[in-house]
Amino acid sequence: MAKKIQASAQARWRKTLLKGTLWLSSELVLGLIGMDTVADYGEFLTKPQVADHINQAIAAITTVM
């Protein structure tokens, strides 16, 4: 049982390390080519609160028109 828990913990660490490495490398590459602002804007748009506010604003604008 302990080996199973230990293997699960190792898998989580590997997954976390992989995600962190991919994030860091993409930030570095995008920063070097000047596209980091675009990537940050994409992350900004994927936040649920921002998407809700944008949808409400678009609905209000289309209702007025």
pLDDT digits (tens, 9 = 90+) for 18-40: 988 988 888 888 788 877 777 67
User: What are the residue boundaries of the structural domains of the chain, listed by start?
Assistant: 1-33, 35-65
The burial of 55, by beta-carbon neighbours within 10 Å (0-12 exposed, 13-18 middle, 19 or more buried), is given as exposed
Q: What is the pTM of this model?
A: 0.48
- Between 8 and 5, residue with greater pLDDT: 8
Contact 5, 13 (CB under 8 A): no
DSSP, residue by residue, the chain: -HHHHHHHHHHHHHHHHHHHHHHHHHHHHHHHTT-HHHHHHHHHHTSHHHHHHHHHHHHHHHHH-
